[in-house]
Structure 1
Amino acid sequence: MTINGTPAGTGRSAATVGGRVDWVDYAKGICIVMVVMMHSVLGVEKAAEQTGFMHYVVMFAKPFRMPDFFLISGLFLSIVIDRDWRTYLDRKVMHFAYFYVLWVTIQFGFKAPSLAAESSWSQVGLLYLESFIEPFGTLWFIYLLPIFFVVTKLTRSVHPLVIWLIAAALEMTHLTTGWTAIDEFCARFVYFFTGYIVADYVFALSDRARARPALALLSLGLWALVNGGLVALDVSEWPIVSLALGLSGACAIIVIGTLLARAHWLAFLRFCGEHSIVIYLAFFLPMAATRTVLLRADLIHDIGLISLIVTAVGVGGSLLIWRLALAVRANFLFERPTAFWIAPKKAAPALQAAE
């Protein structure tokens, strides 16, 4: 998911700083914070058997939280999809596979004792092996991305509109087989593929928002009313409606990211976006630890406030873990060593960062 800047000839005029597209990092930052928020809020509410004010924020974001992440993940695919298969598989499959195997092992290391207490160590071993078929916990996103990359390259000979219509139809089925990879593929591939085939239009949308911020703010207000209203009416997951809200919400986050980049506000969101995979990989530990401490201490009785604190610590704690890993030279936690490359670049660095 590295963004190496905008190559010449693409016709994209998005602002870049240090080789990165500013609004993309803001949008990714918003998305990763919403992901941490969702897991934090729902985890706190389940443990406390209560709901707080943050529940409504999570519900508002549900229609577009993951669609936007996947759409952005597909934006730069046209730049790399023509690479030979070996290089493509290295950058788009092996890269994520390394972090999935590493971090699913780390997560099992923390959760194994409690899982064994509920069943047995042999059952824990089977669960670990099963995690390579059924994505484990919060890691399903990086499990699914390589599948999207491979499917998109394999279907290049098919007209994009045909693929998009099939993907849209799959999303509207709301398939529930119980297998995460199958269900989430059907629910999310349309957004990834949309980002790939309409990337130039997405950049044009950002350019228009940057040029006409007042109109962009008005459009965001109307979108928020419609999205919130449909969520409140409990129709946001109806066929067609869910797809429309996913796409419109993704556009809204792109516009918000653009306006924040234009105003140079909330730089921490941009930083989170630049390190979104770092946060995604590591937030489970500070999130779970903070939730346990706060609920057991019983010092704060507002479930919404506890959820908000857990979210903040989940984001900040994951970045702290990353910095500590670099300080003790445990870079392999967030950077892929060249030993796990199948097509290293010439004069490649010793490690390839998670993003």
Structure 2
Amino acid sequence: MAERTRVDWVDGAKGIAILLVALAHAVQWTVLSGLAPEFWNKINLVFIVFRMPLFFLASGLFAASIIKRSWPTLWRTRLSLLVWALLLWTLIRFGYFSLLTNPAGFDETNPFDLLLAPVRPSNGLWFLYALALFFMAAKLMRNRIDWRVQLGGAVVLSVLFFARADTGNIAWNGIGRYFVFFLLGCHLREWILAFVNRPSRLGALGLGLGFAAAFLVLAGLILTVDSRLPFITGTLVVVSLFALGAGLLVARFLVGFRAMAWLAYVGRNTLPIYVVHVLLVSLITSLLLLYRVQAWLDRLGPALPPLVAGLAVAASLLLWRLVRDLPVLRYAFAVPIWFAGRAPAAGEAAASPSGETADPAERMLPRSE
């Protein structure tokens, strides 16, 4: 039961992260389309300290054992699904937005960007690309570079990219910003698990107060001064660390309630949500624009981003459940054996989308045969 509880709160943390990612995209689409008020953009900026750091930290928590595997096994059990999903859904998104106008104005129909996607992703699927590189980098550094040196270098890199470094590409900027959080999960796993599973009241209180103070300062700077200021200071790394600790404790608290069991379910099934929800957010926004002159839509405007995000997440999971056992269509969410290589041997975990093993104890999507 203790192991199950541990996994539940990790899943809960991932559930919170993917919901915030969906909300971020819903904000972008509805605000740029003129359906939701501008203040949602600033709320989006506040959550930059929490969304992707939490996602990568949760992925790194189970990476330590995974990077010990041989390269062929690592490919079969981890990297193949990440690469497959990136390539397949980049093609799907290219075709989708070539047929249907993107109401937010983002262009994903450039053939040159499509060709460069394997080395320079230019859409929201960059998380898959970054995670694959993180696993490879962590394996290459294992037993070669002291973990403290790894973390120190990653912190410097994160501060630089949060402050002013810019490669001109969303994927490479994200890699620079978030590698440190993956390494934190990988190298401080036991400490993090012990802290969250058995938090001291004093430690939890201190962390909560520290996060609240840092979060309020950040929110104040973004909402009242200049949205660019926090990025110039580079202090977002520190705020993110407070946010992660508080977020993990909140996830552990929430999954203890039967009514919140859905949150862990969402966290266990992030891949279908991650790859599908943007298409649904775009579709829902386009449909809402047909009614933009209606008074009811104006009244609903301030609440539209969370409503659109929630609907897109639910529809993504429904689509996955409908096709996951169907011939051919199931490979939208599972890597075919011809791409990954031979089936996993006895004791090998199947590929999963977020870096955890797929055994029953950790309950991730199995690789399709």
Q: TM-score under structure 1 normalisation?
A: 0.85
Q: Which runs of 5+ in 1 are unaligned?
A: 1-12, 117-122
SS at 1:178 equivalent: coil
Paired residue for 2:12?
26
- Distance in 2, matches of 1:343 and 1:232, equals 54
Out of 306, 319, 322, the position equivalent to 1:321 is 319
Runs of at least 5 residues in structure 2 that lack an aligned partner in the other structure: 103-108, 223-228, 354-364
Note the C-alpha offset of 1:14.
5.0
TM-score, normalised via structure 2 length: 0.82
The within-5 A match list for 1:216-295 is 216=204, 219-220=207-208, 223-234=211-222, 235-295=229-289
Matched, 1:60 2:34: no
Q: Equivalent residue for 2:131? A: 145
CA shift at 1:306, angstroms?
1.8
**Paired position in structure 1 for 2:225:** none
Change (3 A) 1:217 1:331: farther
| Paired residues of 2:76 and 2:351 also in contact (CA < 8 A) | no
Structure 1 pair 215–161 and aligned structure 2 pair: CA distance change class (3 A): closer
Q: Percent identity?
A: 27
Map Cα deviations across residues 73-109 of structure 1 (whole Å, 9 max, x no partner).
Answer: 1111111221111101232322200111111111111
Mapped to 2, the partners of 1:72 and 1:137 lie a distance apart of 22
The aligned residue for residue 159 of structure 1 is 146
Aligned CA distance change for structure 1 residues 222 and 43 (closer, same or farther; 3 Å): same
Alignment partner of 2:166: what SS?
A: coil
Match in the other structure for 1:8: none
The aligned runs of 1:1-355 (5 Å cut-off) are 14-16=2-4, 21-48=7-34, 51-52=37-38, 54-113=40-99, 124-156=110-142, 157-174=144-161, 175-209=165-199, 212=201, 216=204, 219-220=207-208, 223-234=211-222, 235-298=229-292, 299=294, 300-301=297-298, 302-326=300-324, 328-329=326-327, 330-346=329-345, 354=353, 355=365
Over residues 183-221 of structure 1, what are the superposed CA-to-partner deviations in whole Å (9 max), with x where a residue is unaligned?
Answer: 222111111111111111110121123x75x97478436
Deviation (angstroms), 1:328: 4.0
Question: 2:106 maps to which residue?
Answer: none
1:115 Cα deviation after fit: 7.7
Equivalent residues of 1:236, 1:245 under 8 A apart: no
CA contact (8 A) 1:25 1:273 kept: yes
SS of 2:124's equivalent in the other structure is helix
Distance (Å, rounded) in 2 between the aligned partners of 1:49 and 1:130: 33
Shift of 1:225: 4.0
Report if the CA contact (8 A) 1:173-1:239 is conserved. Answer: no
Q: In 1, are the aligned partners of 2:80 and 2:335 still within 8 Å (CA)?
A: no
Question: Residues 13 and 267 of structure 2 are in contact (CA less than 8 Å); yes or no, is this contact kept in structure 1?
Answer: yes
Task: Please report how far the alpha carbon of residue 327 of structure 1 lies from its aligned counterpart in structure 2 after TM superposition.
Answer: 5.7
Distance 2:331 2:156 in 1: 40
Question: What secondary structure does 1:137 align onto?
Answer: coil
2:77/2:351 contact within 8 Å kept: no
In structure 2, the residue matched to 1:9 is none
* Partners of 1:70 and 1:97 in 2: CA distance: 17
Q: Hey, what's the Cα distance between the residues in 2 that align with 1:240 and 1:53? A: 23
Cα 1:114–1:131 change in 2 (3 A) is: farther
SS at match of 1:16: helix
Would the alpha carbon gap of residues 53 and 177 (structure 1) be closer, same or farther in structure 2, given more than 3 Å must change?
closer
